[in-house]
Structure 1
């Protein structure tokens, strides 16, 4: 989002938040501006979404140490791991990523001091949330690509072996027959490749199907 868009969103958000939350309107607006652009657009158009986002941001402000006038007794804020996790989750959940639990877990892997800094700096937290979200998406894409690629490689490899054997039996229809046999699962294909008799039977069946179609 460029600066001009950010300013426009900021002005509109502030004007909507200010009537109900005069004292913390600026901080709440700043926190919500860290949301993805698509979510911001929805928030500005949907009053219920805006209310929910503001409530989450308010809770986060109250939980975060030294981050708001609304926070009570900063010195009494417990700093156990569980408490930090809960506070961080509340803040992360404001960003509506759909991965609040995972992102919170990733951020909690840092040193306690770093986590405390995230709790008191909404801008820094926003950067870390976006980075964690990007990492999660990349991981997901890599896993999907890897499994897709490995399956595709396996099919290609079996296809090449199969074609060379089928071509010896029926050079004219080798392509069609190989294509039909490749619809079988890989375990069955491995059997065909290791048992010439089974392969001959499968090729004959495929030839019979081709004859009826022609």
Structure 2
């Protein structure tokens, strides 16, 4: 119950600060900001600049939610232009949640169909659910990545790398793969996904092998 009481107190303080600037929407804006994590709210109450920035974002989100027709009534010619602004608008809304991954989450949400993105802009509840799901996926992804070096996946990575290296230098594939696997796991992953980087790394390894000890 303490947490609920704390939230109520914070809500009252926030409302008191928001009301003079946004009389009509003070209640809604307070509710939106109360979705943010507790530590962020505490900091906001002490930092007026931070509160003003969060308020601006929440207010813009509210305006978009109240007037989605302005976004949807675009001509077909504007589609390519509006895609950029859709990304900007979505980023503004996602950033309100202060997840620390606004850029990545926005990118994930923008992979959806344009109509689905427009729905997110006009439905704060739906957006909140999607942001939570994206954040969960990102967290799980990070956990998997940190486990890679300790698990059997390391063997899979070695095999994939060997096959790629073998295509470039069959004679020295074993030695070169061994050298590349001494790199950080994240760097090895990068080599697997970026052929140009892999070529450069293989050339460096070949040069090292050619150099007499």
d(CA) in 2 for partners of 1:5, 1:77: 43
Query: Where in structure 2 are the equivalents of 1:58-207 lying within 5 Å?
Result: 58-62=59-63, 64=64, 67-68=65-66, 74=70, 78=74, 80-149=82-151
SS in 2 for 1:13: helix
SS in 1 for 2:99: coil
d(CA) in 1 for partners of 2:97, 2:68: 24
Instruction: Provide the TM-score with structure 2 as the length reference.
Output: 0.59
8 Å CA contact retained: 1:34, 1:126: no
SS in 2 for 1:40: helix
* 2:52 counterpart residue number: 51
Task: Report the aligned-residue RMSD.
Answer: 3.0
Call closer, same or farther: CA 1:100–1:111 in 2, change over 3 Å: same
Deviations along 1:155-202, one digit per CA (max 9) or x if unpaired, are: xxxxxxxxxxxxxxxxxxxxxxxxxxxxxxx86xxxxxxxxxxxxxxx
Does residue 39 of structure 2 align to residue 24 of structure 1?
A: no
8 Å CA contact retained: 2:68, 2:122: no
Aligned-pair distance for 1:111?
A: 2.9
d(CA) in 1 for partners of 2:73, 2:57: 18
* 1:192 counterpart residue number: none
Aligned-pair distance for 1:89?
A: 0.8
User: Which entry has the higher C-alpha Rg, 1 or 2?
Assistant: 1
SS in 2 for 1:10: helix
Aligned-pair distance for 1:77?
A: 6.0
Deviations along 1:140-167, one digit per CA (max 9) or x if unpaired, are: 11101122446999xxxxxxxxxxxxxx
d(CA) in 2 for partners of 1:53, 1:84: 19
Call closer, same or farther: CA 1:11–1:98 in 2, change over 3 Å: same
SS in 2 for 1:140: helix
Comparing 143-152 with 96-105, greater Cα deviation is found at 143-152
Instruction: Provide the TM-score with structure 1 as the length reference.
Output: 0.59
d(CA) in 1 for partners of 2:69, 2:114: 20
* 1:176 counterpart residue number: none
